[in-house]
Amino acid sequence: MDSKRRKNITSPKMETISSLIYGINPVYKILLALLIIIPAALLGGLMYLYSLQPQYSGRLPLAGLQQEVEIIFDPYGIPHIYGQSQEDVYFALGYVHAQERLFQMEMMRRVAAGRLAEILGEKLVKTDKFFRTLGLLEQTDLNVALFFKDPSAPWKKAALAYLAGVNQYVEQGDTPLEFRILGIPKEKFTPKDIYLNGALMAFGFAAGFQMDPLVTKVYHKLGWDYLKDWVLGWPPGAQKIPVYPANYSNAAEALPSAIHEMMAELPVSAWIGSNGWVVSGKKTKSGKVIFANDTHMAYSQPSVWYDFSQNPQSENPPAGFVYSANNQPDALSSKLYPGYYIPEDRARRIVQFLDSETTWSAESTKKMNTDCISTVFTEVTAEILNTLKTL
């Protein structure tokens, strides 16, 4: 077929297509391009984000494991870890913890060490100065030197195995999106970081950092008469240590606001909070579940605590309620995990309430929230009095 014939055969179609293309309004061309580009970009972005998700299935070779470990994630995403040794289980826990919470872990250690401004800018310099003034970083160095001299103790082996699992993910795992956006290099975790997080938790419970400046501000603005009901008094004529207060009214005025602003700007929630309870619908007037707590734990996403299968838990207990009050929970396995408050002050009072009433409502729950009666203090007082009698 010669070129002239081919031209005669194809030219009507080409002319038609050409006329259609060149006849489209420029605005429609832009819209057509956007309809193609935007979905493609969204699809590419979703595929990229999906590639950064934690791995919840399949096999993964990890050099730090001594034997094979099995991890099963339940429908709530809680890992159940099964291994032949305690070190392997803690190694696996460190790995899965890091693959889900590495950025949160990074922010926590930076808050306690006063290293936020390095990555978040000058706005956090004051916050860094505050935490460095507290001396948390220096204290963690002392703790590591004191408690990690001999790493042969079982709890030290567990801690080091956990850190090895975290660092295995730091080395071979995907870099979380937050690290990429902020340009943060991934750094390995050390025993010092364990104590930094413990120090940050202790700071969260140190309510005096916020309450004391606030009370001082109230004193300077409203005077002593506004606070006198809080004071138990002192016997007339008894010896008192003389005081000569400096004039720091300006500091007292500024400090509460400064601390409040600093706490509000932290990239992770402070570790505060203790009491909470859930009441079954069988014990409520409405027949619906009531959830309550003393609401001093700030919202955090991800949450402060990381759930795994060995954490204390209670599902649909026969008593009809679940509670937590910094009290010692019973063991899921053969041993308790110590470190909770004793005596069982708040826990006992909560149980007294929830055991005694079977028709809870929102109003009665509010009254329970503000209850301040202690059953333990009377026992402690009686013990002190008995001791004094024997002196």
Domain for residue 102, yes or no? Answer: yes
Domain for residue 59, yes or no? Answer: no
- List pLDDT tens digits, range 323-348: 877 777 777 766 666 655 666 777 88
Could you tell me if 182 and 281 lie in one domain? Answer: no
Could you tell me if 283 and 230 lie in one domain? Answer: no
Domain for residue 63, yes or no? Answer: no
Could you tell me if 216 and 286 lie in one domain? Answer: no
Partners of residue 323 on adjacent β-strands: 277
Nearest to 60 by CA among 91, 35, 19: 91
Could you tell me if 110 and 186 lie in one domain? Answer: yes
Domain for residue 373, yes or no? Answer: yes
- Computed over its alpha carbons, how large is the radius of gyration of the chain? 31
Sign of the CA dihedral running 217, 223, 227, 233: positive
Is the pTM higher than 0.75? no
Q: Which helix (H) or strand (E) holds 73?
A: strand 70-73
Nearest to 169 by CA among 115, 98, 217: 98
Domain for residue 65, yes or no? Answer: no
Could you tell me if 42 and 103 lie in one domain? Answer: no
CA triple 260-263-264, angle to 5 deg? 85
Q: Which of 61-70, 82-91, 291-300, 303-312 has the lowest mean pLDDT?
A: 291-300
Q: For residue 331, what are the domain limits?
A: 276-389
Could you tell me if 46 and 25 lie in one domain? Answer: yes
Q: Which residue has the tokens 């509460």?
A: 256
Could you tell me if 27 and 13 lie in one domain? Answer: yes
Band (pLDDT 50/70/90 cuts) for residue 245 is low
CA distance 161 to 155: 10
Could you tell me if 165 and 254 lie in one domain? Answer: no
Domain for residue 311, yes or no? Answer: yes
Concatenated DSSP letters of 282-322: GGBSSSS-EEEE---S---SS-SS---TTS---SS-TTSEE
Could you tell me if 252 and 176 lie in one domain? Answer: no
Total domain count, the chain:
4
Could you tell me if 168 and 118 lie in one domain? Answer: yes
φ and ψ at 262, to 5 degrees?
-65, -45
Q: Determine contact, residues 352/375, Cβ cutoff 8 Å.
A: yes
| Comparison of pLDDT for 214 and 298, the residue scoring more | 214
Could you tell me if 343 and 358 lie in one domain? Answer: yes
Domain for residue 32, yes or no? Answer: yes
* 4 has a pLDDT exceeding 50: no
Domain for residue 60, yes or no? Answer: no
Instruction: Residue 110: give its domain's CATH number.
Output: 1.10.439.10
